[in-house]
Chain A
Amino acid sequence: EDQVTQSPEALRLQEGESSSLNCSYTVSGLRGLFWYRQDPGKGPEFLFTLYSAGEEKEKERLKATLTKKESFLHITAPKPEDSATYLCAVQTNYGGSQGNLIFGKGTKLSVKP
């Protein structure tokens, strides 16, 4: 069964304190791994797509990396406005799949000033 597990469930940081969020996945075939940001009561906001092991993507204070079994979202010198739930999702490459995403439960990040 395809599975996505994110850790930790919650993370509290001081402003400027860098850290990483983990997403481990078990799928028969990976088409892509996606990171989203979700604010309370809102829809997921697209951040990154990663397709192959070794790939890295960056956007402002965020950097996503991918290995064959997991992905990391590194947050460098976070600010309070980075507080949100970060969701990891995978897309499988089964023949009949139309690209639906399988999500993890997310990591709730709180950044205190």
Chain B
Amino acid sequence: EPEVTQTPSHQVTQMGQEVILRCVPISNHLYFYWYRQILGQKVEFLVSFYNNEISEKSEIFDDQFSVERPDGSNFTLKIRSTKLEDSAMYFCASRSTNEQYFGPGTRLTVT
């Protein structure tokens, strides 16, 4: 069964460093998303991506964040200068019809 994959599973970085989180969506899906979940809190929407451009973003997704689909399979989330409060699980999701399928997540720890 096709699934969304994410790498790395855990990333530790120092405050102020740049990180890139990688996702491989399900191959025939056209809509891609990033969400995050701070420990003990709700899953929160960050950004949606369709037709090679951002289609919607939340207030969380400020200038420190960017997304890219560098080739036909990968979908990346970049945080330019990480802050302590960026520590969270980051989930990638994709869909073709209405149901979004999530990856296993990347745990980002900023020290």
Q: Which residues in A have some Cβ–Cβ distance to B below 8 Å?
A: 31-32, 34, 36, 41-46, 49, 87, 89, 91, 96-106
Asked if residues B99 and A104 are in contact (CB atoms below 8 Å), the reply is no
Interface size class of B (residues with CB under 8 A): 20 to 34
- Cα distance, A98 to B54, chains bound together (Å): 10
Chain B residues, Cβ within 8 Å of A87: 43
Show 9 residue pairs from A and B whose CB-CB distance is below 8 angstroms, ordered by the A residue. Answer: A34-B99, A46-B101, A49-B98, A91-B98, A97-B56, A98-B31, A98-B50, A100-B58, A102-B45
B93-111 vs A, Cβ < 8 Å mask (1 yes, 0 no): 0010011111111010000
- Per the 8 Å Cβ criterion, residues 34-79 of B in contact with A are 35, 41-45, 48, 50, 55-56, 58
Question: In the docked arrangement, what's the CA distance between A24 and B100, Å?
Answer: 21
Set A32, A42, A49, A102: member contacting B104, Cβ < 8 A: A42
- What's the nearest-Cβ distance from chain A to residue B90, in Å? 10
- A103–B42 contact, CB under 8 A? yes
Determine whether the beta carbon of A105 is less than 8 Å from that of B42: yes
Q: Is the CB of B98 within 8 A of A101?
A: no
Given contacts A49-B98, A99-B31, 6 further A-B contacts (CB under 8 A): A34-B100, A41-B105, A49-B99, A99-B48, A103-B43, A105-B42
Evaluate contact between B91 and A43: CB separation under 8 angstroms.
yes
Residues of B within 8 A of A105 (CB): 41-42
Q: Which residues of B contact A46 (CB under 8 A)?
A: 99-102
Residue from the list A36, A100, A103 in contact with B48, Cβ < 8 A:
A100
Cα-based distance from A89 to B98 in the complex (angstroms): 13
Let me know if A32 and B55 touch, CB within 8 A.
no
**Which residue of chain B is the closest to A91 with respect to CB atoms?**
B98
Q: Which chain B residues lie closer than 8 Å to A44 at the CB level?
A: 43, 91, 102
Q: Which residue on chain A has the smallest CB distance to residue B54? A: A98
Which of B31, B99, B105 neighbours the largest number of chain A CB atoms within 10 Å of its CB? B99
